[in-house]
C-alpha cells in the first residue's frame, strides 16, 4: 500500500511523508498538502466532475469517523476503491487527535466564518488553515461540490445518526441531498435557519458546497467503536467516490426533519441548564418547562409543541450555545 494512504499514521506520529505525491497502479494521484490533509485526484479520463471534501477529527476524541476515513484511504491506496471524484481528506485537529481530547484550548468547530480572526492560539490557526484548504479545493469552476464533516457526540441520543444542514439566506435545502443522507443511514436531519460558525457552515455559505455535519453515534477511543455502525454510510461514500451511487429515491420516507426553534446561549457563569447531566440528544420537552436560567432574570421556558433538545452542554464558554431547542419541520419547504 502507498505510504500516503497511511495519512492517519503520519498524523498520529506528527511526521511528514518522504514523498509528497504518489500514484496508484490505476493512475490515481495522491498529494500530501500538509498535516492531516491529502488530496486524491482520479485520472482525467475518469473524472466525473465531483469535488468531495471528507473531514473528521475536528474534535480529536471522535474516533469512529477518523477510522472510517482511514479505511477509505487504505482502499484507495491499495487500488481496491477506484475514485472518479476529486477528494480532499482532512483530519481537523491533529494535536487533539494525538491527545485523544475534544480540543486543546478552543473548540475548532466554533471558529469558522471569520470567528478565528477574533481570537488566537493553535486552534484558531488550524481553523484558518482548514478554511484555506477547503477554499483552494473548491476553487475549480463548474464542478459539483459536496462536503461531509463526520462527528460522534459526547452523549447518547434517542436518534443515533443524524445530520445538520446549514443555512444561507436565499438558498433552499435540497430534497435530493436529504434523500442521499437517508440512503446513507441518517435517521433525522436538522434544517438550520441562521448562519453559523461551524466548518460546514463555512463551506455551504462561502464556497457553495452542499455541506452536512453528520453525527454517527457516541464518541469513544480508537479501537472501541464496535457499537458505532457506519456500514450504510461507508457503502454510500464508496459509491459516491467510485461513481456507482444509485439515484436516491424521490420520497423521504422515514427521514425525520427538524428545524431550530431557539438556541440556548450561555451568557455568564451563573448559567444553569435544568436537565440531567446524562440527558440524551432528541429528548422531548413539555411546554411550560423551565429549561435554563442565567443572569438578569434570563429564562428559557419551553413554549413549542413537540420540542426536543440537542447538544445540551452547560460547560461551554460564555457567548456560545449551550443547547438547541428543535421542533418538527415541514418538508413542503424543501427545494
Contacts of residue 247, Cβ cutoff 8 Å, sequence gap at least 6: none
> What pLDDT score does 90 carry?
98
> What pLDDT score does 253 carry?
77
> What pLDDT score does 333 carry?
60
Cβ burial 110-147 (10 Å sphere, 16+ → b, else e):
bbbbebbeeeeebbbebbebbbebbeebbeeeeeebbb
Residues 20-60 pLDDT 10s: 999 999 999 999 999 999 999 999 999 999 999 999 999 99
Query: How many CB atoms are closer than 10 A to CB 190?
Result: 24
Task: Kindly state whether residues 194 and 270 are assigned to the same domain.
Answer: no
Task: Kindly state whether residues 70 and 154 are assigned to the same domain.
Answer: yes
**Domain for residue 97, yes or no?**
yes
**Domain for residue 184, yes or no?**
yes
Cα gap 11→9, rounded to integer Å: 5
Question: Is 84 strand, coil or helix?
Answer: coil
Task: Kindly state whether residues 145 and 271 are assigned to the same domain.
Answer: no
Mean pLDDT for 66-75 is 98
**246, 180 Cβ separation under 8 angstroms:** no
Task: Kindly state whether residues 272 and 223 are assigned to the same domain.
Answer: no
Domain boundary among 212, 242, 272: 242
Residues 221-237 pLDDT 10s: 999 998 899 999 999 99
Residues 280-309 pLDDT 10s: 999 999 999 999 999 988 999 999 999 999
Residues 85-130 pLDDT 10s: 999 999 999 999 999 999 999 999 999 998 999 999 999 999 999 9
Domain boundary among 190, 209, 242: 242
Contacts of residue 276, Cβ cutoff 8 Å, sequence gap at least 6: none
Smallest CA-to-CA distance from 84 within 306, 196, 244 is with 244
Q: Please give the C-alpha separations between residue 111 and each of 117, 120, 209, 329, in angstroms, as whole numbers.
A: 8, 10, 19, 28
Longest dimension (CA), the chain: 66
Q: How many structural domains does the chain have?
A: 2
Cα gap 186→255, rounded to integer Å: 8
Residues 133-188 pLDDT 10s: 999 999 999 999 999 999 998 888 999 999 999 999 999 999 999 999 999 999 99
Q: Give me the CATH number covering residue 276.
A: 2.40.50.630
Task: Kindly state whether residues 184 and 110 are assigned to the same domain.
Answer: yes
Alpha helical stretches, state H, 122-193: 122-137, 175-183
Task: Kindly state whether residues 237 and 270 are assigned to the same domain.
Answer: no
Cα–Cα–Cα angle for 180, 181, 183, rounded to 5 degrees: 65
Which residues pair with residue 257 across a beta bridge? 189
Cα torsion 35, 61, 210, 42: sign = positive
> What pLDDT score does 84 carry?
98
> What pLDDT score does 215 carry?
97
Task: Kindly state whether residues 89 and 226 are assigned to the same domain.
Answer: yes
pTM metric for this prediction: 0.94
**217, 153 Cβ separation under 8 angstroms:** yes
- Would you call 101 a catalytic residue per the annotation? no
Neighbour order of strands in the sheet with 298-301: 272-273, 290-294, 298-301
Task: Kindly state whether residues 28 and 95 are assigned to the same domain.
Answer: yes
Q: Which domain holds residue 324?
A: 264-333
Q: Going by DSSP bridges, is the β-strand pair 144-153/210-218 parallel, antiparallel, or unpaired?
A: parallel
Q: Which residue has the cell 498529494?
A: 31
Detail the residues annotated as belonging to a binding site for Zn(2+): 59, 62, 151
**Domain for residue 298, yes or no?**
yes
**Considering the chain, what is the average pLDDT of its residues?**
94
**Domain for residue 128, yes or no?**
yes
Domain boundary among 242, 277, 310: 242
Detail the residues annotated as belonging to a binding site: 59, 62, 151
Cα gap 261→272, rounded to integer Å: 20
Give the active site residue among 215, 224, 250, 284. 215
Residues 244-263 pLDDT 10s: 999 888 778 789 999 999 99
**Domain for residue 13, yes or no?**
yes
Q: Give me the CATH number covering residue 44.
A: 3.40.630.10
> What pLDDT score does 142 carry?
97
Task: Kindly state whether residues 307 and 184 are assigned to the same domain.
Answer: no
Contacts of residue 17, Cβ cutoff 8 Å, sequence gap at least 6: 3, 4, 10, 32
**Domain for residue 256, yes or no?**
no
Contacts of residue 262, Cβ cutoff 8 Å, sequence gap at least 6: 300, 324, 325
Task: Kindly state whether residues 268 and 122 are assigned to the same domain.
Answer: no
**Domain for residue 169, yes or no?**
yes
Q: How many residues comprise the chain? A: 335
**Domain for residue 253, yes or no?**
no
Task: Kindly state whether residues 178 and 304 are assigned to the same domain.
Answer: no
Task: Kindly state whether residues 224 and 284 are assigned to the same domain.
Answer: no
Q: Please give the C-alpha separations between residue 198 and each of 27, 211, 212, 215, 313, in angstroms, as whole numbers.
A: 35, 11, 10, 14, 16
Amino acid at each position: 500500500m502507498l505510504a500516503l494512504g497511511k495519512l492517519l499514521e503520519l498524523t498520529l506520529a506528527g511526521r511528514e511523508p518522504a514523498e509528497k505525491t504518489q500514484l496508484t497502479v490505476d493512475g490515481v494521484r495522491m498529494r500530501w498538502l500538509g498535516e492531516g490533509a491529502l488530496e486524491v485526484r482520479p485520472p482525467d479520463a475518469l473524472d466525473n466532475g465531483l469535488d468531495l471534501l471528507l473531514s473528521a477529527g475536528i474534535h480529536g476524541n471522535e474516533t469512529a469517523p477518523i477510522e472510517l476515513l482511514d479505511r477509505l484511504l487504505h482502499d484507495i491506496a491499495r487500488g481496491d476503491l477506484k475514485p472518479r471524484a476529486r477528494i480532499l481528506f482532512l483530519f481537523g485537529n491533529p494535536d487533539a487527535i494525538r491527545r485523544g481530547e475534544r480540543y486543546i484550548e478552543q473548540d475548532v468547530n466554533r471558529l469558522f466564518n471569520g470567528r478565528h480572526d477574533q481570537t488566537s492560539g493553535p486552534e484558531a490557526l488550524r481553523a484558518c488553515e482548514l478554511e484555506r484548504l477547503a477554499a483552494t479545493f473548491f476553487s475549480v469552476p463548474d464542478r459539483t461540490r459536496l462536503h461531509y464533516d463526520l462527528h460522534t457526540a459526547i452523549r447518547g441520543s434517542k436518534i443515533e445518526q443524524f445530520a445538520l444542514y446549514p443555512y444561507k439566506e436565499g438558498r433552499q435545502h435540497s430534497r435530493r441531498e436529504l434523500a442521499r443522507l437517508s440512503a446513507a443511514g441518517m435517521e433525522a436531519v436538522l434544517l438550520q435557519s441562521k448562519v453559523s460558525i461551524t466548518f460546514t457552515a463555512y463551506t455551504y455559505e462561502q464556497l457553495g458546497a452542499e455541506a452536512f455535519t453528520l453525527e454517527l453515534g457516541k464518541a469513544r477511543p480508537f479501537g472501541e467503536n464496535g457499537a458505532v455502525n457506519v456500514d450504510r454510510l461507508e457503502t454510500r461514500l464508496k459509491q459516491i467516490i467510485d461513481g456507482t451511487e444509485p439515484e436516491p429515491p424521490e420520497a423521504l420516507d422515514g427521514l425525520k426533519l427538524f428545524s431550530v426553534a431557539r438556541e440556548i446561549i450561555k451568557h455568564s457563569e451563573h448559567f444553569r441548564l435544568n436537565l440531567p447531566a446524562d440527558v440524551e440528544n432528541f429528548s422531548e420537552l413539555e411546554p411550560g418547562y423551565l429549561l435554563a436560567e442565567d443572569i438578569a432574570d434570563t429564562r428559557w421556558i419551553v413554549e413549542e409543541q413537540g420540542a426536543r433538545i440537542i447538544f445540551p452542554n452547560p460547560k461551554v464558554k460564555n457567548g456560545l450555545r449551550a443547547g438547541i431547542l428543535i421542533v418538527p419541520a415541514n418538508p413542503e419547504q424543501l427545494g
